[in-house]
Amino acid sequence: MRYFSILAALGATFLAMAPVQADEAGFSAWLVQYRQGAVQRGLSAEWIDKALADAVYTPRVVELDRAQPDDSGRRNVFASYLDRQLTPQRIADGRARASAHSSALKRISAETGVPGAIIVAIWGMETSYGRITGGFDLPSSLATLAYDGRRAELFTRELDALVRMVGEGRADRSQLRGSWAGAFGQPQFLPSSYLGYAKDGDGDGRADIWNSVPDTFASIANYLREHGWQRDIPWGFRAVVPRNFDRVSIGNPEKPESCIRPMQAHSRWRTAGEWRADGFIPMNALWPADDVPMTLVEPDGPDTGAYLTTASYRAIMEYNCSNFYALSVALLADAVQSVLRN
């Protein structure tokens, strides 16, 4: 019986390994095709070979990608998410980091119009203030995701950008480690975002988002500014909704074309003056000017917590297309901003 048990175990192991071995063979063939296509797209063959040296198929990356939240109908609750994200330790760390780097934050905020507290909050949410940046090999991860095909266009584009980063000398092959989905550095940029928005914040001529805190701040601020953050327009605030308010009247007739599910939680735009006239009350915040457009966001539905948000809030959503994420960043920023006021 033990003999047959061993055979059965070996058979099961072989069957489990067979798909991986097949994928590894297919991956090797795909890399050849990718190289040909990338050269046609204008990338140097030398760059490709240098960037993809030792890239391997990584089954764990595919597993993580396919485990992402879907439209299964499972209800996520913002209050529970916020409890996990906005911890006393994260707030305390954010205040300490904001205080320690206040000069750089104030300078970059003055240059870009993005508040220092928002910069720190994204830094904290993305990598716990630079402590957790990911240990996956980026060329392997991006190539695996491009080969897998679920989002082939996106990850092929990001792999091209990674090749360009290496080829242009912006990153060494040894630096290319990050999340399983291809984000890296203290702000967790994808390669295309690095090429488009990374900035030198310390004056040494390089945009080093791996090691330089000022470069990290400048890059986050530049990304938000280029994606719609409006100088002197805060993100918004939590609000008290008047009793028996007619939510049907504020439905958004325009259907979102991107970031669809999160944007469906937004009302149509109305001015701050219109919201105020209807009896909305800000909680621990002041109204912006009456002509500032704002939308109502109730992440868990009516009567479960409401927020009036501006175009600057939408810039945070461009960083990560999620109301849960954007509100967590905004509320973390509110919690740390006091140390930057003087």
pLDDT along the chain (342 residues), means of 10: 39 44 83 96 96 94 80 69 95 97 97 98 98 97 94 96 96 94 98 98 96 98 98 97 94 89 94 98 96 96 93 97 96 95 70
How far out from the chain centre does Cα 180 lie?
Answer: 13
Predicted local confidence at residue 7, as pLDDT: 35
Superfamily, domain 19-70+134-184: Bacterial muramidase (1.10.8.350)
Which residues in the chain are classed under CATH 1.10.8.350?
Answer: 19-70+134-184
**CA torsion angle 196 134 209 183 (round to 10):** 10
Q: What pLDDT is recorded for position 258?
A: 87
Are 130 and 123 in contact by the 8 Å Cβ rule? The answer is yes
Beta bridge pairs of residue 294: 270
Q: For position 8, what pLDDT does the model report?
A: 40
Give the pLDDT of residue 69: 56
Q: How many helices (H) and strands (E) does the chain have?
A: 15, 7
Interacting residues of 153 by C-beta distance below 8 A, sequence separation 6+: none
Q: Give the span between the Cα atoms of 22 and 28, in whole angstroms.
A: 10
What is the reported pLDDT for 9?
A: 44
Residues in a beta bridge with 237? 308
Question: What local confidence, expressed as pLDDT, does residue 72 receive?
Answer: 39
Dihedral pair phi/psi, residue 238, rounded to 5°: -75, 140
At 149 the pLDDT is 85
| pLDDT for residue 76 | 79
Largest CA distance in the chain: 81
Its pTM stands at 0.90
